[in-house]
Amino acid sequence: MPDNIPVTPGPRGVPQVAMSRTSTLVTRTGSWKYIRPAYHDRVAPCNARCPVGIDIEGYLNLLREGRVDDARDLLLQENPMPSVTGRVCHHPCENACNRRALDGAVAIHAVERALGDLAHERPAPIPTATPRAERVAVVGSGPAGLASAYHLARLGYGVTVYETADKPGGMLRLGIPEYRLPRAVLDRDIDRVRAHGVDIKCGVRVGVDVTWDDLTSTFDAVCVSTGAHTSRALGVPGESLPGVRAGLAFLRDVNDGQRPALGARVVVVGGGNTAMDCARAALRLGAQVTVAYRRTRDAMPAIREEVEDAEREGAQFVFLANPVEFTGANGRVQSLTCERMALGEPDASGRRRPMPTGETFVIEADTVLTAIGESSTLEGFPGDVTRNDAGLEVDALGGTTRDLLFAGGDVTDLERTVADALGAGKRAAIGIDRHLRRHAGDTAELNALRFATGNLSAARWMQRDPVRRVDPINDVVGTDDITLSQYRRMPRHADAHLPSDVARGGFAEVNEGLTAAEAMDEAQRCFNCGVCTQCDVCLIFCPDAAITRVEGGAYAIALDYCKGCGICAAECPRGAITMTQDRT
């Protein structure tokens, strides 16, 4: 300290700040540290929770940078049907979003929908793949089958899809009403799959028109994705009365353009998405609708927004109601007797088990639609393939107990959602590719394909990952890793909806989504958890000026001057810096 600066106490006895005659370059404090900062790209929680295996943070970051076409291409590497999932996915990614702790999760579904729709206005170029000699058959054209076919075609295989119905789409076409998923939207996403060279043969029943032996002798591998199309029975007296019908059969009629006569009062039994679709379709046919569910509202497996829409459109809900008998008059159902339930201990699902109380009550009904779940029909399927109560037993890559026979989607024992089916189809495609390559002597391995615990990445499997990653680690970034004080509040954009009275009047799409500009604004709300975006916060806050920018936009840490204080890691807005043990 210079001699002419007195060292005297300041106000309230606090000493004045020491001053140095030299720059901090003289004071090499690096020897003080026992820990050191390191830049690591970690995993955003949305990526870890996505059943499809989409690099959500990656494409949102590209949108933040204004690279719209690159964001589109990254999304399409993992998901062939973003316009569909943007409308019907249950978006668990949003439940995991760290922004929920500040001002609401990023509306990922709405951004994906807008980007998926944009991809039809500005189509992505079809990537060229080195053709392979092997051919693969896919049985079923639901989301799992279409995803499997899409990824296999991108890997260079010749793919033929066999579909029993006269149009492809499976449950996307047969089970989801038009007000949720317009057929023009579905057809455009299916056309994208076809554009990759996939041959879809409709009106063909495998096991009847084409035998399983024909498939296994003609093709080098087979992927089964026939779905779950058989409604489960309640098993109570009176279930066979006219007017009591399976909800899925009702939806097939409605989606085929029919308008069944239901009478004035409809009761829907169930609490899942099929039940909500039945309720909302029945409202559009002019009925008064009551939904009876044996658990509570919080325990409903249906997408929360679908429950809210059904309620907004006029459906009434009766909870803790378990059907025990249907009563008829004049040869048709007249009422439904339910037993009042009480909540007991949690069952295997983690929800509290509904327990009978002995108390009953009656709901009048002209039609009852049952929607308590669906099961797979495996009649005629090869008997040497191991099954379980839910369907075919598969390994992590969709492999069955028969060599070169794979399966995915609702025909297996996995979660029965559109997103899970798309993810299962991708895993089966990677499994088939890996298996066929091994048969040909290639030792392809599954190196770092997952986003932490999330689904597999096709981009990484194909070695086409366009995202530059800095020493990536499979560590999911939690809210505690985010410096919320570095962000300003930005309200979440809400989807536009048709007014409820207008929605009930027809089958026009109810959720109108976000405009392109709103979707771009919503993408800016993403924290980009775990990924360095060159925001300079670490550089600004470093007390030793030990952090500098280097060519390409990354940062370098001068370890001779870094004393391991950890301020950079503490202030990093998105948890992209970790403190590690010093080994210098």
Q: Are 225 and 148 in contact (CB under 8 A)?
A: yes
Q: Can you give the CATH number for the domain in which 291 is found?
A: 3.50.50.60
- By DSSP bridging, strand 352-364 and strand 332-346 are antiparallel
Q: Are residues 245 and 356 in the same domain?
A: yes
pLDDT at 390 over 70: yes
Q: What is the pLDDT of residues 510-538, one digit of tens each?
A: 999 999 999 999 999 999 999 998 899 99
Q: Are 359 and 341 in contact (CB under 8 A)?
A: no
Q: Say which residue the tokens 């239901």 belong to.
A: 262
Say what the pLDDT of residue 414 is.
Answer: 79
Q: State how far the Cα of 468 lies from the Cα of 473, in Å rounded to an integer.
A: 13
Q: What is the mean pLDDT of residues 245-255?
A: 94
**Residue 5 within a domain:** no
**Residue 139 within a domain:** yes
Q: Are residues 34 and 151 in the same domain?
A: no
Please name which of 109, 255, 91, 233 lies closest in space to residue 171, comparing C-alpha atoms: 255
Helix (H, G, I), strand (E, B) or coil at 465: coil
Q: Are residues 260 and 368 in the same domain?
A: yes
* Global confidence as pTM: 0.90
Least confident of 103-112, 461-470, 473-482: 461-470
Q: What is the pLDDT of residues 257-308, one digit of tens each?
A: 999 999 999 999 999 999 999 999 999 999 999 999 999 999 999 999 999 9
Q: Are residues 157 and 256 in the same domain?
A: no
The 10 Å CB-count burial string (b at 16+, else e) for 340-378 is: bbeeeeeeeeeebebeeeeeeeebebbbbbbbbbbbbeb
pLDDT band (50, 70, 90) for residue 35 = confident
pLDDT band (50, 70, 90) for residue 323 = very high
Domain end among 337, 372, 407: 372
Q: Are residues 221 and 238 in the same domain?
A: no
pLDDT at 4 over 70: no
pLDDT at 1 over 60: no
Residue count of the chain: 584
**Residue 191 within a domain:** yes
**Residue 80 within a domain:** no
Q: Are residues 302 and 319 in the same domain?
A: yes
pLDDT at 315 over 50: yes
Q: Which DSSP state fits 9?
A: B
**Residue 466 within a domain:** no
Q: State how far the Cα of 541 lies from the Cα of 424, in Å rounded to an integer.
A: 45
Domain end among 309, 343, 372: 372
**Residue 564 within a domain:** yes
Q: Are 458 and 79 in contact (CB under 8 A)?
A: no
pLDDT band (50, 70, 90) for residue 2 = very low
Say what the pLDDT of residue 443 is.
Answer: 66
Domain end among 356, 372, 388: 372
| Residues in CB range of 507: below 8 A, 6 or more apart | 177, 178, 179, 284
Please name which of 395, 338, 401, 346 lies closest in space to residue 365, comparing C-alpha atoms: 338
Least confident of 205-209, 436-440, 447-451, 557-561: 447-451
Query: For a pLDDT cut of 70, what percent of the chain falls above it?
Result: 92
Q: Are residues 201 and 278 in the same domain?
A: no
Say what the pLDDT of residue 391 is.
Answer: 80
Q: Are residues 342 and 380 in the same domain?
A: no
Q: Are residues 159 and 30 in the same domain?
A: no
Q: Are residues 443 and 352 in the same domain?
A: no
Torsion of CA 156, 113, 146, 436, to 10 degrees: 40
Range of the domain at 326: 232-372
Q: Are residues 262 and 302 in the same domain?
A: yes
Q: State how far the Cα of 217 lies from the Cα of 233, in Å rounded to an integer.
A: 37
Q: Are residues 399 and 456 in the same domain?
A: yes
Q: What is the mean pLDDT of residues 360-368?
A: 96
Region of residue 256 (left: phi > 0; alpha: psi -120 to 50; beta: else):
alpha
Q: What is the mean pLDDT of residues 161-190?
A: 95
Pick the residue with more confidence: 534 or 552? 534
Q: Can you give the CATH number for the domain in which 569 is found?
A: 3.30.70.20
Report the domain count for the chain.
3
Pick the residue with more confidence: 60 or 27? 60
**Residue 419 within a domain:** yes
Q: Are 313 and 340 in contact (CB under 8 A)?
A: no
Say what the pLDDT of residue 445 is.
Answer: 64
Q: What is the mean pLDDT of residues 228-245?
A: 88
**Residue 297 within a domain:** yes
Least confident of 55-64, 142-151, 555-564: 555-564
